[in-house]
Structure 1
Amino acid sequence: MHILITGGAGFVGSHIAISFKEKYPHYKVTCLDNLKRRGSELNLTRLKAHAITFVHADIRNPEDLEGIEPFDCLIDASAEPSVLAGLNSSMTQLINNNLFGTVNCLELAKKFQAKFIFLSTSRVYPIASLESVVTSELPTRFTWQSAQTLPGVSEKGISEDFPLTGSRSFYGATKLASELLIQEYFSVNNLPTVINRCGVIGGAGQMGKVDQGFMVLWVARHYWQQKLNYIGYGGEGKQVRDVLHPTDLFKLIDIQIHSIKTFAGKTFNIGGGLKNSISLQELTTLCEKSTGKATLIDKIKENRPLDLKVYISDYSQIETLCGWSPTIPVSQIVDEITEWIQKNERMLEPILNT
């Protein structure tokens, strides 16, 4: 099998590429990336060490894709990942990356009638609806109550039945628009497609920033003892997310591409789930334990646009279909990030300690 991964030099893309090559040494794996995101060039040595082909190209430019060799599966891990994109800047780059880029990838997959795995986002769900979910406040976190009025929400999290009507951010809108087009390619062109709506993905190798990759950001700020902020919802750090390790995501994609008929045309919520959820306050405790350091955290009570009190992925549909569920706990993810920073401190400090 020949697997093409767009965004293949990024955190998720490179991890999936290397995982495939380690499990299936006889497979050909090609990573395509424009190397725009800071730190992505650091993965090129790792890709080369695993005999993974790298193509420096941009999915926004169809001509960049013309020379790609035939492949059996395209995993689209390329995107402008910031939920703040387009908020105080031009929409052009966001739409070119996350919508037109997806179309170019779909056309490329159609050319070879290849399997198409799309990494979408939980941010396709409307913010106002998510914020209207009934919560309770515990000593260290907010939690969802069992009795709800909206469909698709329970203590386990948000399922695929949650309503999609409403505003969700420019970022989320581009990903949802891509999902709609993917469904058309499946229906009209018989392209075997799968949509995975991913929540937070975190782990060693991620170049975390304020707007994306908060797990690495939190560990790094503790490691270098740089100030952090609990922002919004009273400034107590009780907002909650579930976290997925990229190895668990790889295990799912591995199942999907080798049993594509089971999953084709479907959309799945993918994440760490309730058992792998954590609040910022709880994450602070883990970071202090893992790094052996504490840092100053200011409390800012006012909410920011696009913030969410709680988001947890209900992955029941995919678990029922194939038995997949996350295996790597948040505590292990934090420890792996700490170890990675310790081993690569000199290289990472200019990127993460800013």
Structure 2
Amino acid sequence: MKILITGGAGFVGSSLAISLKSSYPDYQIFALDNLKRRGSELNIARLKQAGIDFVHGDIRSKEDFDALPAVDAVIEASAEPSVLAGLDGTPDYLINTNLFGTVNCLNYALKHKASFIFLSTSRVYPIKTIETLNFEEAETRFVLSDDQPVPGVSSRGIAETFPLDGARSLYGTTKLASELIIQEYNEFYGLKTVINRCGVITGPWQMGKVDQGVMVLWIAKHYFEQSLAYIGYGGTGKQTRDMLHIADLYRLVDWQLHNLDQVNGEILNAGGGVDSSASLQELTTICQEVTGKTIPIRQVTENRAADIRLYITDNTKVTQMTGWKPELGIREIVTDITQWLDENRAALEPILK
């Protein structure tokens, strides 16, 4: 099999590429990336060492696709992933990458009759609707109730039938617009596709920032003994997310690559679920235990733009269709990332500290 992974030097793309090459040494894998995100350059040596063909290119450029060979499958893992991107009034890079770039990827896949796996986001679900959900305030976290004002949500989390009316951030909008176009290519061009609405993905080699990659950011701040803040929702750190280890996402993508007919045309939520979720307060406790370090954490009561109180993925549909479910919990994730920081401290300190 020949596979193109866009965003191939990013955290998700490089991790998937290296895992695939490890599992299937005979596969030829191309990793396409424009290296815009700081830290992605560290992955070039890792890709080369794994036997993956790195291609310096940009999905915004149709000409860069013309130079690529034919492949059997495209994994679209490229994106400007920040929820705050474009909110400063200049959304051009965001839209050109996350929407028009996806169209270039689709046309390339169509040209070669390649199957198409799209990594979308839970951010397609509207912010205001999520913020009006019924919840309970437990001792260390916010918890979703079963009794809800809208369909597609329960104590298990948010499902694919959750209403899509409303604003969701420019990032979420570009990903949802891409989803709609992918469905058209599937229906009218016969392109085999699957869309994965991923929750928070994390793991080693993620270059965490405050607006994207919060799990690595939180652990790294403990590791390097710096300071953090609980921002919004009273400053209590009870806001809650589920976390998906990149190794768990890889198992799903691997299955889809080899069984795409069984999920062709589907949209699937894929996240850590309730069993792999934590509030910032709970994450802090685990970070203290794993790293052995306690750091100062400020309290900021005011909410940030585009933030949400809690998001948990309901994986019911994807589990029923594929048998997949996450295996790695929060403590395993924190331990794994801390070990990675230990092993690569010299290279990572200038980026993450």
The two structures have a TM-score, normalised by structure 2, of 0.99
Q: CA deviation at 1:164?
A: 0.1
SS in 1 for 2:119: strand
Partner of residue 268, structure 2: 268
Does the alignment pair 1:11 with 2:16?
A: no
Q: CA deviation at 1:34?
A: 0.5
| Percent of residue pairs identical | 57
State how far apart, in whole Å, the 1-side matches of 2:205 and 2:315 are.
25
State how far apart, in whole Å, the 1-side matches of 2:237 and 2:86 are.
26
Partner of residue 134, structure 1: 134
Partner of residue 221, structure 2: 221
1:109-128, aligned counterparts within 5 Å? Answer: 109-128=109-128
Q: CA deviation at 1:225?
A: 1.3
SS in 1 for 2:262: helix
SS in 1 for 2:269: strand
Q: Which amino acid aligns with 1:150?
A: V
State how far apart, in whole Å, the 1-side matches of 2:255 and 2:206 are.
24
Partner of residue 327, structure 2: 327
Decide which moves more: 293-302 or 336-345: 336-345
Q: How many residues align?
A: 353
Q: CA deviation at 1:346?
A: 1.4
Q: CA deviation at 1:257?
A: 1.4
Partner of residue 287, structure 1: 287
State how far apart, in whole Å, the 1-side matches of 2:145 and 2:323 are.
26
Q: CA deviation at 1:149?
A: 1.9
State how far apart, in whole Å, the 1-side matches of 2:343 and 2:318 are.
36
Poorly superposed stretches of 4+, deviation over 6 Å: none
Q: Which amino acid aligns with 1:117?
A: I
Partner of residue 198, structure 2: 198
Q: Which amino acid aligns with 1:207?
A: M
Partner of residue 168, structure 1: 168
Cα RMSD, aligned residues only:
0.7
Partner of residue 338, structure 2: 338
State how far apart, in whole Å, the 1-side matches of 2:322 and 2:193 are.
17
Partner of residue 183, structure 1: 183
State how far apart, in whole Å, the 1-side matches of 2:349 and 2:256 are.
37
Task: Write the deviation string for residues 37-59 of structure 1: whole angstroms up to 9, x where unpaired.
Answer: 00001011111111111100000
State how far apart, in whole Å, the 1-side matches of 2:190 and 2:343 are.
47
Does the alignment pair 1:248 with 2:258?
A: no
Partner of residue 20, structure 1: 20
Q: CA deviation at 1:146?
A: 1.4
Partner of residue 56, structure 2: 56
Q: CA deviation at 1:330?
A: 1.1
Q: Which runs of 5+ in 2 are unaligned?
A: none
1:150-169, aligned counterparts within 5 Å? Answer: 150-169=150-169
Q: CA deviation at 1:237?
A: 0.2
State how far apart, in whole Å, the 2-side matches of 1:106 and 1:331 are.
38
Q: Which amino acid aligns with 2:179?
A: E
SS in 1 for 2:211: coil
1:15-94, aligned counterparts within 5 Å? Answer: 15-94=15-94
State how far apart, in whole Å, the 1-side matches of 2:51 and 2:225 are.
38
Q: Which runs of 5+ in 1 are unaligned?
A: none
State how far apart, in whole Å, the 2-side matches of 1:173 and 1:15 are.
25
Partner of residue 350, structure 1: 350
Q: CA deviation at 1:89?
A: 4.0
State how far apart, in whole Å, the 2-side matches of 1:231 and 1:50 are.
40
SS in 1 for 2:41: helix
State how far apart, in whole Å, the 2-side matches of 1:340 and 1:248 are.
17
Q: Which amino acid aligns with 2:20?
A: F
SS in 1 for 2:164: coil
SS in 1 for 2:313: coil
SS in 2 for 1:183: helix
Task: Write the deviation string for residues 44-77 of structure 1: whole angstroms up to 9, x where unpaired.
Answer: 1111111111100000010111011110000000
Decide which moves more: 309-318 or 341-350: 341-350
Partner of residue 144, structure 1: 144
Q: CA deviation at 1:305?
A: 1.3
The two structures have a TM-score, normalised by structure 1, of 0.99
Q: CA deviation at 1:227?
A: 1.0
SS in 2 for 1:206: coil
Decide which moves more: 338-347 or 125-134: 338-347
Task: Write the deviation string for residues 11-51 of structure 1: whole angstroms up to 9, x where unpaired.
Answer: 11011001111111111111000111000010111111111
Q: CA deviation at 1:345?
A: 1.2
State how far apart, in whole Å, the 1-side matches of 2:336 and 2:249 are.
17
